[in-house]
Amino acid sequence: MITLEHVYWLMGVLAAGVAWVNARDASNPKRWNNAAFWGLYAATFLAGSWLPHAVTGCLVIAMVAVASIGKLGQTTRESQTAAQREASAARWGNRLFLPALTIPAVTLLGTFVLKTATVGGAPIVDPKQVTQISLALGALAGLAVAMVMLRPPAAAPLHEARRLWDAVGWAAVLPQMLAALGALFATAGVGKVVSTLAERWLPLGTPLAAVVTYTVGMALFTMIMGNAFAAFPVMTAGIGLPLVMTRFGGDVTVMAAVGMLSGFCGTLMTPMAANYNIVPAALLELPDEYAVIKAQIPTALLLLAANTAIMYAFVYRQ
Amino acid sequence: MLTLIGILIVVAGFAARLNPLLVVTVAGLATGLASGLGPVQVVAAFGKAFTESRYVAIVWLVLPVIGLLERAGLKERARAVIAAVPAATTGRVLMIYFAVRQITAALGLISLGGHAQMVRPLVAPMAEGAAENRFGALRAATRFRIRAHASAVDNVAVFFGEDIFIAIGSILLIKGFLEQNGINVEPARLALWAVPTAVSAWLIHNVRLLLLDRSLRREATASPVPIAPAQHEEPAA
């Protein structure tokens, strides 16, 4: 059976390869920092499942030290000039889209087919991890199509992955770090403290005030936690269920559905949701790491107001 | 109250624009220590959560193929395709992507997009290409603004489309949490109540994309960039 562990081996090999390419590239003045960073990252994939968690924690702290104190660099070498790329684009035309579209096509196919596929009664992939494994298969299929079609040098995929991953830099690891922070927040009971404070200090005497506190609270707490899924249980147990539902007789389905979506408005506005907001800014090589958040704030605020109006209009009507 | 020290560190650290990786690590360690864990336990808790969330990094497996295609001129081709459509504008390109992304997400097909797979190699170059088509060479700031909007479209469309699909994570989380509290809700009704917000998101963001087109046009006519034919060079970082 294929499990996530196999995908992690693949990730480990990719990260180790990127570390290796970096180590050999004299054009990058920080090449040893880059090599150490991606090498440590590779270790968390290859050995993370059986290393003691404290050791993995030390590896992670070492990565942070390399990236924040030592800083990462980038190669100055371009594999192809702009003119070469233009010529290649003209030569291949729309066929270039084929490998790119293979990724989502195979990912989707995988999620549908592999969920129930079995060999001799045993499932081919772990049914709980179908989505992630399908994404990995989609990436491999896209790579295979591109290699057959374009026939680049064998090391080209690794060099190109290195170029992109170094452009993203430390931001590539931030989502995992934030997940770790969220876990520590949960252990320390940060959510309970926040909802106790909210109950004590906010005016919640009217049905409208309860709705506004719940939707705005979902957005704010999501901004702190970086994740609406972490905010939802805390805010719903603290404000939604006791006030909107029990005290003022609101409909729990409307409240929960629109409440979660209010949290998503918060996700659009916070650097804590790194994989949506900070990673894309790095991936698109934007000088301002908050540029994506800034583009999203007007929509997020208007939509939060819309959510509050929708909830107030319908939650007490059922 | 000491448990909130992590939040304080995060807010202050992000505001001061320190390296987020460092800020988050310090905040996590401080929160763990403040809650009474020993130093080794805190590091172990950090390592455990990092290990358990490795699945979020799987998307990086697409980098080799995306990089390879960029090397072969994928971005240049995406720009050329848009250049052949005279009616294309940045806002319209992004509106079409918004609609496709939101509708497919509502059908549960959330893996049909993403920043690494779609935005960097295809959507952003097309949105930039549409602007170049109309206004010639772009200033770096304009180019960055268009790219940021391309990413924003991917996020907004998927966030406010996926909840219409009944088997998505957030719907299951709501159902599971309410069940723990002795309340039963229908996933189909939860999904139904995501529709008004989805429509609002579509309206709000599409108006903003129309305004983006207008502001790009105004910017270009007010002060055209004095560079001859459109250069497809990456701006210096």
Please classify residue A188 by burial: count the beta carbons closer than 10 Å to its beta carbon, then call 0-12 exposed, 13-18 middle and 19+ buried. buried
pLDDT in tens, A238-255: 889 888 898 899 999 999
If you search the block for the tokens 């200033």, which residue do you land on?
Answer: B139
Residue ending a domain, choose from A151, A171, A197? A151
Minimum mean pLDDT among A202-206, A274-278, B152-156: which range? A202-206
User: Taking a C-beta distance cutoff of 8 angstroms, is the pair A142, B118 a contact?
Assistant: no
What is the ipTM, given to two decimal places?
0.88
User: In chain A, how many domains are there?
Assistant: 2
- What is the rounded average pLDDT of the residues B16-32? 90
- What is the rounded average pLDDT of the residues A279-303? 96
The answer to whether residue A177 sits within a structural domain is no
Nearest to B151 among A85, A193, A284 (CB): A284
- What is the rounded average pLDDT of the residues B65-73? 93
Question: Rg of chain B over CA atoms, in angstroms?
Answer: 22
What three-state secondary structure class fits B168? Answer: coil
User: Taking a C-beta distance cutoff of 8 angstroms, is the pair B5, B30 a contact?
Assistant: yes
Comparing B202 with B236, the larger pLDDT belongs to B202
The answer to whether residue A171 sits within a structural domain is no
Best mutation target among A10, A133, A253, A315 (most B Cβ atoms within 10 Å) is A253
DSSP element (H, E) containing A284: none
pLDDT value of residue A317? 85
Domain that holds residue A264: 189-314
The answer to whether residue A74 sits within a structural domain is no
Mark yes or no for CB contact B54/A44 under 8 Å: yes
Could you please report the per-residue DSSP string of B67-119? HHHHHTTHHHHHHHHHHT-TT--HHHHHHHHHHHHHHHHHTT-GGG--IIIII
Enumerate residues 165 to 204 of chain A having a beta carbon within 8 A of any beta carbon in chain B: 165, 170-185, 187-190, 193-194
The answer to whether residue A116 sits within a structural domain is yes
User: Which ranges of chain A would DSSP assign to H, the alpha helix?
Assistant: 4-23, 31-46, 53-65, 82-92, 97-113, 130-150, 156-168, 174-188, 190-201, 207-225, 228-235, 252-267, 274-283, 291-314
If you search the block for the tokens 């252990």, which residue do you land on?
Answer: A187
Q: Where are the domains of chain B?
A: 2-52, 59-222
pLDDT value of residue A26? 85
pLDDT in tens, A149-170: 999 999 999 999 999 999 888 8
User: Taking a C-beta distance cutoff of 8 angstroms, is the pair B104, B160 a contact?
Assistant: no
User: Does pLDDT of A41 surpass 90?
Assistant: yes
Using CA atoms, how far apart are residues B77 and B129, in angstroms rounded to an integer? 10
Which of A214, A178, A173, A226 lies closest to A308, judged by CA? A214
User: Taking a C-beta distance cutoff of 8 angstroms, is the pair A307, B197 a contact?
Assistant: yes
| CB within 8 Å of A78: residues ≥ 6 apart | none
Minimum mean pLDDT among B21-35, B67-81, B157-171: which range? B157-171
The answer to whether residue A196 sits within a structural domain is yes
pLDDT value of residue A318? 60
A257 touches chain B (CB under 8 A): yes
Mean pLDDT rounded to a whole number for chain A: 90
A52 CB neighbour count, 10 Å cutoff: 11
Cα separation values, B200 from A232, A308, B18, B190, B203, Å? 21, 12, 36, 17, 5
The answer to whether residue A102 sits within a structural domain is yes
The pLDDT confidence band at residue A76, using thresholds 50, 70 and 90, is: confident
Minimum mean pLDDT among A69-78, B137-146, B154-163: which range? A69-78
A224 touches chain B (CB under 8 A): yes
Question: Rg of chain A over CA atoms, in angstroms?
Answer: 24
pLDDT in tens, A95-110: 999 999 899 889 888 8
Using CA atoms, how far apart are residues A194 and A196, in angstroms rounded to an integer? 5
Which of B157, B152, B70 lies closest to B106, judged by CA? B157
User: Does pLDDT of A207 surpass 70?
Assistant: yes
The pLDDT confidence band at residue A267, using thresholds 50, 70 and 90, is: very high
Tell me the residue type at B193: W
Residue ending a domain, choose from A151, A181, A211? A151
What three-state secondary structure class fits A56? Answer: helix
Mark yes or no for CB contact A86/B55 under 8 Å: no
